[in-house]
Amino acid sequence: MEERLRIPFTFSRAADMTSFVTSYDETASRLVHERRAVVRVSAVPGTVPASLPPAYPFRWMAAALGQTASIECTTIPYCAARSVSFVVITHRPEIFERDLASSAIFASHRHQLTVIANPASAASGLNEGLAQAQHGIVAFVHHDVYLPPWWESQLEVTLQTLDRCDPEWGILGCAGARFDGERLQYAGSLFDGTARRRWGFPWNLPADVDTLDELLLIVRRDSGLRFDETLSGFHAYGAQISLAARARGLRNYAVLAECEHHSDSSGWSPDAAYFSAHAHVAKRWSRLPYGAMFGPMPSVLPSPWREEVLAHHAKRSVIR
């Protein structure tokens, strides 16, 4: 049975005093003891809206959160989601065991979990796992992602919604971006373990986006979508398959399928391989030199990659 909760939207310091927790996170954690999942959320404006703490790192969220005083959550008892084929690539099995493998949803053994160790590239490893998929829904997940107990219920309600309104969807994920003509607009919701903060907000989902973050990508096995194995390395494959779906006229969505990303990449900065991969995708898969990408926009790629992308699209427009 569906129930609705209306709660003030606030921030508070966690017990360890190093991270910010929202009243939404506290509510979701409390509902675990009742085996209930939040499956829809709407934001309610008010005269005393929430405000971001001064140290909050995701400043792009400020406008939406600044208009929100409370949120209305629809909850349901945990439901048995359809079986999913999970594919994960890993080069550090101890991280996989610590995070994804420890997710409670795998205790039922209803889902297929395929682990590809040390592939030559992300694209080749994920395609290998896709070829082994036994179920109609395939989820590609980073090895440092934890799926909380309510994840199955959120995904199932999302899939039921899309079954009704857009059964030929392209790619789903928990974090995505869309280009509005001037800048990227982000959508989605998850708990980021690196910054120890909530990234995004759980309302206005599903949201139509161009590209999705690679920490969680969900496809329909019968869509025929695959990762581009000309893309070497381990970057930009999420943008690639998202843009491939868009090229087929399929819609991609950031959805309510919240997870915890326990990334240990703090201090990492983009290197040549990262920029080269995104330039490759911008040239091969984006129709415009400034097409939306969840990674760097082609316009902000450093030299020589920016010039390569611009020259490629200039040449293609002349040919056409």
Contacts for 159 with CB less than 8 Å, ≥ 6 apart = 81, 82, 137
Tokens of 47: 């005269």
How buried is residue 227: exposed, middle or buried, by Cβ count under 10 Å (0-12/13-18/19+)?
buried
- Full pLDDT tens readout for the chain, 320 residues: 899 999 999 887 766 656 778 899 999 999 999 999 999 999 998 877 777 777 777 888 887 887 889 999 999 999 988 999 999 999 999 999 999 999 989 988 899 999 999 999 999 999 999 999 999 999 999 999 999 999 999 999 999 999 999 999 999 999 999 988 778 899 999 988 777 788 999 999 999 999 999 999 999 999 999 999 999 999 999 999 999 999 999 999 999 999 999 987 656 778 899 999 999 999 999 888 878 888 888 888 999 999 999 999 888 766 54
Cis-peptide into 206, omega within 30 deg: yes
What does each C-alpha distance from 36 to 31, 32, 79 come to in angstroms?
5, 6, 9
Q: Tell me the pLDDT tens digit for each residue of 143-197.
A: 999 999 999 999 999 999 999 999 999 999 999 999 887 788 999 999 887 777 8
CATH architecture of 84-261: Alpha-Beta Complex (3.90)
Q: What is the pLDDT of residue 6?
A: 96
Q: Which residue has the tokens 């208009």?
A: 67
Name the residue ranges covered by the structural domains of the chain. 3-77, 84-261, 272-319
Cβ atoms < 10 Å from Cβ of 266:
9
pTM: 0.94
Sequential DSSP letters for 30-97 = HHHTTTEEEEEEEEE--SS-----TT-S-GGGHHHHHT-SEEEEEEEE---PPPEEEEEEES-HHHHH
**pLDDT of 127:** 98
